[in-house]
Amino acid sequence: MSLLLYTHPACLQHDPGAGHPECPPRLAHVLDALNDAFPALAWQTAPSAERGQLARVHAPAHIAGILDTPVHGHLRIDPDTLLSEASAEAALRAAGAGIAAVDAVVSGAATRAFCAVRPPGHHATHDAAMGFCLFNSVAVAAAHALAAHGLPRVAIADFDVHHGNGTQDIFAGDARVLYLSSHQSPLYPGTGAASEHGVGNIHNIPLRPGAGGAALREAWGEHLLPVLDAFAPQLVLVSAGFDAHRLDPLAQLEAETEDFGWLTARLRQLAERHAEGRLVSLLEGGYNMQALRECAVAHVAALAD
């Protein structure tokens, strides 16, 4: 099959508490919208990531803190990030979805995959959970592609409105992984300056509040996609956050649903040019339910045949 969808019921059980924007209905809306729009697409059950797979990008103490800490009710990690009793399994399934999707596209069982999972991951650093994120699922997927499949060049494209500081933190010293990000600045977490280059593998395009779809398309079309093209990745991973949409309550960019479809199609084209089409996307942010539904459908439509 050309496109597989991954999810797990446990991802709906992670509960950060009443009023938290990263809430279970986010994923419920995505699943509902995708099932309505693509009834013929195959859903796969996300497996649990193993500790050894997480340890490729996370410190043992961080892994143990998420998986082994007793939780009764809620446990606050930072002002924005909480654990509930179901959070550990949800985080394992979210990371496991990325691993399984990488296995599927590298083996040829599928060409592309979208992981409809939560909690998101791109803020989680080597040794800390933060910004709603427990494990960095896209980083775990990238490390799995490097270690288990021996791919020498993996690219991560991140268009979430918040900079993926955790992903950058994990791979800033690893030239095998290219990290590309457009994001609003100033905004949480305060990283992602254009001057941050890692070992030449980090490329950030900060966008000012109020920037719209034209600015997003210019950032990718004129700057980031040419870098991706020159890198010639053998696998493209996507941190698919839809909170740069004009309706999102947590940021001030003005992108439209169509902009995410355009960008997804361009990423797919580059995956087809360099990586035999292999592309794995993982859901990150997006906190307006209607925009999240629309953008998820536009994203998957651009991935599907």
Show which residues are catalytic: 123
CA–CA distance from 132 to each of 30, 65, 230, 236 (Å)?
A: 18, 15, 33, 24
- Give the closest residue to 141 by CA, choosing from 170, 181, 165: 170
Question: How many whole angstroms separate alpha carbon 241 and alpha carbon 222?
Answer: 21
Give every CB contact of residue 1 below 8 A, 6+ residues apart in sequence.
42, 109, 110
In which residue are the tokens 């924007």 written? 21
Q: Within 13 A of 76's CA, how many CA atoms are on the CB side?
A: 5
Q: Please state at what angle helix 87-107 crosses helix 137-149, rounded to 10 degrees.
A: 40
Query: Which token pair is 283?
Result: 């859901």
On the CB side of 5, CA atoms within 13 Å amount to 23
Give dist(CA 19, CA 87) in Å, integer: 17
Please give the helix or strand (H or E) that residue 215 lies within, else none. Answer: helix 213-218
Whole-Å CA distances, 108 to 1, 3, 102, 111, 288:
9, 11, 10, 6, 35
Residues with Cβ within 8 Å of residue 161, at least 6 apart in sequence:
183, 184, 187, 241, 243, 244, 248, 250, 251, 253, 285
Residue type, 87: S
Strands (E), 94-250: 112-115, 154-158, 177-184, 202-207, 235-240
